[in-house]
Structure 1
C-alpha cells in the first residue's frame, strides 16, 4: 500500500514590477510602509498615525493610532535587504490581533532586479491553516480583488510616484 501524496495548502501569490531599483523597492515596502499602506486596511483607519515594520529579525510589524495606541500585527522572520522579507501575519480571520505566533500565517516578499530601475516583486501569503477552522475562508477573503490585490496596487502606485 502506498501513501497518497500530500497536497500543498493553497497560498496567495502575486507578482508585480515597479519602476524602482531593488534597494528602492525594498525600502518603500518596508521603511516606506506608511506612505503606501491603505489606511482603510488598518484598525485606526482615518485616524492612523503610522504603520511600520522594525528593520530586523523579530522586529515588530505594528500600527500606531490616536493617543499612541499601538497594536502589533506581525513579527519579522527574515530581513535580507534588498532581496527578501518574511513576516508573520498575526491578524485573525475576524480581523482581531492574534498574539500567538503559532496561529499566524506568513508573508514572504522577494525582490528581483529586472534592470537598473525595474524590480519584480514575488509575493506569497501562506500557512492559512494556522488560523484554524476559518483559515480557508480567510485565504479566500485576502485573495479576492479587495484583499492583497488592492493593497499591492497601492504599493505599485506609490512606487510609480517616486520616479
Structure 2
C-alpha cells in the first residue's frame, strides 16, 4: 500500500459573482498561470482547460506545440471543477490515468458579487515520483496559495479591485 501524501490547498476571495469567477478561472488559465510553470520544450503561449468533462488541460507553446497536463473529470459550473494532474516526477505527462493526482476547485458565493474559491490538490501518491512533485509544488513556488494570488491579481486588474 502506498503512503498517502498530504493534499495541497489554497483559498482566495474575489469580488466577482460565482458565475463570473468560474468563467474567468477556467477560461483564462493562460492569463494568470505563471509562465515559468511548464513542461514543454517551447515557451508557453497559453494554458488551456477545455470546458467539458473529458476535456484536456494543456499548455500551448509559442511554436504551436501542445503538451498535455491532465483531463477534466467533472465540469459543474459555477460550483465545481475537478481535473487531473498527470505530470510525474520526471516532469513529463503520464497518459495513464491511474498515475494522476486530482485538483478540485469549488466556488462559493459569499454574496452577489463576492466568491470564495477553494482548491485542493490530492492523491500525489498516485503519481510516479509523487513525493518530488508534492515538494516542488508545495515548497518550490508557494503551491495553490501563490497560484490563487496570481488569479486574484488578474481579477483586480479586470475589475479595479477584485480581491476581498
* TM-score class normalised by the smaller sequence: 0.7 to 0.9
Does structure 1 retain, via aligned residues, the 8 Å contact 2:9–2:145? no
Query: Structure 2-normalised TM-score?
Result: 0.87
| Segment of structure 1 superposing worse, 50-59 or 64-73 | 64-73
C-alpha distance in 2 between matches for 1:19 and 1:44: 34
Which is richer in helix? 1
What is the alpha-carbon distance in structure 1 between the residues aligned to residue 41 and residue 112 of structure 2? 36
Which residue pairs with 2:138 in the alignment? Answer: 143
**Residue 70 of structure 1: how far off its partner (Å):** 0.7
- Match in the other structure for 2:53: 57
Inter-partner Cα distance in structure 2 for 1:90 and 1:9: 16
Structure 2: gaps spanning 5 or more residues: 160-164
The 2-side partners of 1:138 and 1:48 are apart by 20
Distance 1:99 1:46 in 2: 20
Task: Give the SS at the match of 1:40.
Answer: coil
Q: CA RMSD in A?
A: 1.9
Alignment-derived partner of residue 100 in structure 2: 104
Residue 45 of structure 1: CA displacement?
A: 8.4
Return the alpha-carbon distance in structure 1 between the equivalents of residues 19 and 36 of structure 2. Answer: 27
100, 104, 125: which one aligns with 1:129: 125
Q: Is the 1:39–1:45 Cα contact (8 Å) retained in structure 2? A: no
CA distance in 1, matches of 2:67, 2:146: 22
Change (3 A) 1:17 1:45: farther
Shift of 1:47: 3.2
| C-alpha contact 1:143 1:149 (8 A) present in aligned 2 | no
Matched, 1:13 2:9: yes
Q: Based on CA coordinates, which of the two structures has the bigger radius of gyration?
A: 1
Distance 1:131 1:57 in 2: 21
Judged with a 3 Å threshold, the aligned counterparts in structure 2 of structure 1 residues 145 and 69 are, in CA distance, closer, same or farther, namely closer
Compute the displacement of 1:9 (Å): 4.5
How many aligned residue pairs are there?
156
- Calculate the TM-score normalised by the size of structure 1: 0.87
Structure 2 vs 1, CA of residues 84 and 109 (structure 1 numbering), >3 Å: closer, same or farther? Answer: same
Indicate the residue corresponding to 2:79 in structure 1: 83
